[in-house]
Structure 1
């Protein structure tokens, strides 16, 4: 979610199982649905935002390993050109606030793949690998 050069980020609840007390963009896991249907559902569930699937475009792909030996994940990052509503705290056990942040001044701490996606999009790169060992590296 982007408007006027700012991105919508939520601050995750401190007791959240993943990335507590860390900033993160709207995201979720697909539940026997298409990726765009998942985005529409998650935006409504997490922030009370209504998005028309026709107003969505794929802007970045990440291939992420969060920790050594962790399960690799492919993450599709979409941009909604339009939506209805203002962000609301719909899942207070997972997110304690929503705020608009300048793209060139992201908050800390932030989920690493969130930062990587924003930086990749701003640089015009369609794809990012994150957390993978590089040939010749020790990790």
Structure 2
């Protein structure tokens, strides 16, 4: 996958107007049910975890502790854009598997969209 394609994959997972974390967050406005709040916190925490593993493997900056989910999504795209082709190919261990950095970023995108879909389904049930 090219650098542009990898960036686009994560950008769409975070911000696409139809199916993304940002869209799920907009559906979860107002009184947020506990399950939705937990899912949003889980997305935040796993994104931080992915980038902690990446930064450990590459010796780059970890996500700042003060970033909420929206700011973290912007931060991670900036970090991704700065990675070289060589850095994207560095092998790391995550969840008992060996992956390269690019594969972990793709996992990050899939994981975020998976939970965004759950949030959207819960939001639809709430308004039905």
> Into which bin does the TM-score normalised by the smaller protein fall?
0.3 to 0.5
Q: Name the structure with the higher helix share.
A: 2
Q: Which has the higher contact order (CA 8 A, sep 6+)?
A: 2
